């Protein structure tokens, strides 16, 4: 098997393919749509072919020396392949959903171009074994998300897209300075060389602080969180990509890649980061409890749940890390489902204020069931997948003596149940206020139902992703036991 071709295919089929989509769109919108789905599915299929190699304990590396001492390095280990599979699979469902959702809007050629470029950039970031190229792909995702958030071109939408771009771009610049600080300490941007150089020496606190600024800005973590609810002005498939499949998960991936698999963190950070994550989780959950806008509530939920992921990763023992990584998968499936359900509701009612809805269970029963299933997973209700990810995070933290901070997150978990039940009750229960609301697109409804079923199946068959995650964790260093 030509593994080098597979690595290039994962990254560059969607990137190169995205350039063809505007041309294809001039020929046929159907051809463009099918090509967009094909390019994303190619990335997913190639990622899947690497699973047997990873489960057997292997790692695949491609390196090409470039000018000025830079190396273009692609690395496929357990962590990278896990993220590539999760992101490309959820992205494929979102692109399929887009066929009907986006069909009556303008700028469709740009939409599919940016969506597929977005996924390709994520794949490049996930597989990058060099900090400079990691930063390069990081910024490509920022550019694509900027255009997608401002898709409708209204003045207020463009301003909110600019806000998201500026927050994440300045965070990225801070992160780049952190990378340069690491270079000054190790003499290399290559992650393998850095890992060997810092094998027993913690990376400098200044570098950690700068990199965390970039990670937290991209992952919409307190105090950089305000851009994410505003990004709800984007089309629902875009918000699903931002929240579930790609954008905010980039920060959690880079955290794991750098602070678990490459560097050794000073013990101080294993206390500071959970505190920041807890504050972010509680503040966002509180905002979700009082918010009236459907998509903003789900956005605040994302900010809150990202705090749980950082908590698991920062605690540092194997159970908590496994919970954090499993959380990425389960939250991705469920949150994509919630946003895509919101898209069905918004398109068919023209309303986003949940206090003006009600009774949609009668007119949108499949959407209601799918929404409830995905919400149960986010809440952590057994046997949905979200339960097992939260269980692993809490069990790992408690076994590590983090009882006080675990209690804080337990409050956050209870608040999650409250705001999602409030949301479901106001939107789907009671007397109908929008009698014309119907589930018009079978494709869109099928996509959300699939995500709800996968959220349930992820819990019932949880041993399979956990086995893969455990293989990924075996290659990580710097864990607190």
Task: pLDDT band for 468, please (50, 70, 90 cuts).
Answer: very high
Q: Residue 170 — pLDDT band, cuts 50, 70, 90?
A: very high
Residue 112 binned pLDDT confidence (cut-offs 50, 70, 90): very high
Which H, E and C letters describe the chain, residue by residue? Answer: CCHHHHHHHHHHHHHHHHHHHHHHHHHCHHHHHHHHHHHHHHHHHHHHHCHHHHHCCCCEEEEEECHHHCEEEEEECHHHHHHHHHHHHHHHHHHHHHHHHCCCCCCHHHHHHHHHHHHHHHHHHHHECEHHHHHHHHHHHHHHHHHHHCCCCCHHHHHHHHHHHHHHHHHHHHHHHHHHHHHHHHCCCEHHHHHHHCCCCCCCHHHHHHHHHHHHHHCCCCCCCCHHHHHHHCCHHHHHHHHHHCHHHHHHHHHHHHHCCCCCCCCCHHHHHHHHHHHHHHHHHHHHHHCCEHHHHHHHHHHHHHHHHHHHHHHCCHHHHHHHHHHHHHHHHHHHHHHHHHHHHHHHHCCCEHHHCCCHHHHCHHHHHHHHHHHHHHHCCCCCHHHHHHHHHHHHHHHCCCHHHHHHHHHHHHHHHHHHHHHHHHHHCCCCCCCCCCCCCHHHHHHHHHHHHHHHHHHHCCHHHHHHHHHHHHCCCCCCC
The residue with tokens 């991705």 is: 332
Dihedral (Cα; 188, 189, 193, 194), 10-degree rounding: 100
Give the pLDDT confidence score for residue 481 in this predicted structure. 41
Average pLDDT over residues 394-423: 95
The partner residues of 293 in beta bridges, in order of sequence, read 353
How does the average pLDDT of the chain come out, rounded?
A: 91
Q: Partners of 353 in the beta sheet?
A: 293
User: Measured between alpha carbons, how far is 416 from 376 in angstroms, rounded to an integer?
Assistant: 10
pLDDT in tens, 151-163: 998 899 899 999 9
Q: Phi/psi of residue 430, each to 5°?
A: 80, -165
Helix axes 403-428 and 385-399, enclosed angle (nearest 10): 160
pLDDT of residue 222: 87
- From the list 367, 383, 379, 360, the residue with the least C-alpha distance to 456 is 383
Q: What are phi and psi of 405, to 5 degrees?
A: -70, -30
Which tokens in the block code for residue 82? Answer: 């896990």
Question: How many CB atoms are closer than 10 A to CB 106?
Answer: 11
**What does the pLDDT read at residue 479?**
43
Kindly state the percentage of the chain with pLDDT values over 90: 71
Tell me the mean pLDDT in the region 403-430.
Answer: 95
317 — phi, psi (to 5°)?
-90, 170
69, pLDDT greater than 70 = no
Domain ranges of the chain: 272-481
Q: Kindly report, residue by residue over 323-332, the tens digit of the pLDDT.
A: 999 999 999 9
- Give me the residue label for tokens 């959690």: 252
Tell me: the pLDDT tens digits for 333-371? 999 999 999 999 998 888 889 998 888 998 899 999 999
Residue with the bigger pLDDT between 201 and 374: it is 374
CA-to-CA distance for 380 and 416, rounded, in angstroms? 9
What are the tens digits of pLDDT across the range 125-151? 999 999 999 999 999 999 999 999 999
Average pLDDT of 101-110? 91
Q: Where is average pLDDT lowest: 248-252, 320-324, 338-342?
A: 248-252
pLDDT digits (tens, 9 = 90+) for 268-295: 898 999 999 999 999 999 999 999 999 9
Burial of 336 (0-12, 13-18, 19+ CB in 10 A): buried
The predicted pLDDT at position 245 comes to 63
Residue 317 has pLDDT above 80, yes or no: yes
pTM for this prediction: 0.94
Model confidence over 446-463: pLDDT tens digits? Answer: 999 999 999 999 999 999
């Amino acid at each position: 098997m030509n593994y080098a071709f597979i690595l290039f295919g994962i990254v560059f089929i969607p990137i190169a393919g995205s350039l063809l989509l505007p041309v294809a769109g001039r020929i046929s919108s159907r051809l463009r749509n099918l090509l967009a789905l094909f390019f994303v599915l190619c990335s997913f299929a190639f990622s899947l072919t690497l699973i047997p190699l990873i489960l057997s304990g292997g790692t695949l590396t491609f390196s090409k020396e470039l000018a000025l001492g830079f190396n273009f390095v692609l690395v496929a280990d357990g962590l990278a392949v896990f993220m590539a599979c999760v992101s490309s699979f959820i992205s494929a469902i979102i692109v399929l959903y887009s066929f009907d959702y986006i069909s009556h809007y303008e700028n469709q050629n740009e939409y599919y171009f940016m969506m597929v470029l977005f996924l390709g950039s994520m794949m490049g970031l996930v597989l990058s074994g060099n900090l400079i190229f990691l930063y390069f792909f990081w910024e490509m995702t920022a550019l694509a998300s900027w255009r997608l958030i401002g898709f409708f071109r209204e003045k207020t939408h463009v301003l909110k897209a600019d806000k998201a771009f500026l927050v994440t771009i300045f965070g990225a610049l801070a992160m780049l300075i952190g990378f340069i600080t690491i270079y000054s300490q190790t003499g290399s941007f290559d992650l393998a060389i850095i890992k060997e150089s810092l094998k027993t020496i913690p990376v400098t606190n200044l570098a950690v602080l700068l990199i965390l600024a970039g990670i937290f800005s991209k992952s919409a973590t307190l105090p950089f969180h305000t851009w994410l609810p505003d990004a709800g002005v984007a089309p629902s498939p875009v918000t699903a990509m931002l929240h579930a499949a790609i954008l905010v998960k980039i920060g959690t991936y880079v955290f794991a890649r750098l602070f678990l698999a490459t560097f050794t963190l000073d013990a101080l950070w294993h206390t500071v980061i959970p505190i920041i994550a807890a504050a972010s989780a509680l503040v966002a959950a509180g905002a979700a409890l009082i918010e009236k806008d459907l998509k903003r509530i789900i956005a605040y939920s994302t900010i809150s749940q990202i705090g749980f992921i950082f908590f698991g990763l920062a605690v540092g023992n194997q159970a908590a890390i496994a919970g954090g990584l499993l959380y990425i998968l389960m939250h991705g499936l469920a949150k994509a489902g919630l946003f895509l359900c919101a898209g069905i509701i918004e398109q068919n009612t023209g309303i986003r204020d949940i206090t003006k809805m009600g009774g949609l269970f009668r007119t949108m029963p499949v959407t209601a069931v799918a929404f409830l299933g995905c919400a149960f997973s986010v809440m952590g209700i057994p046997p949905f997948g979200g339960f097992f990810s939260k269980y692993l995070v809490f069990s790992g933290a408690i076994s590590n003596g983090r009882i006080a901070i675990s209690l804080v997150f337990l409050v956050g978990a209870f608040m999650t149940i409250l705001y999602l039940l409030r949301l479901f009750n106001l939107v789907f229960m009671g007397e109908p206020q929008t009698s014309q609301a119907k589930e018009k697109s079978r494709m869109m409804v099928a996509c959300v139902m699939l995500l709800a079923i996968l959220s349930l199946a992820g819990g019932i068959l949880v041993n399979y992703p956990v086995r893969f995650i455990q293989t990924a964790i075996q290659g990580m260093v710097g864990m607190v036991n």
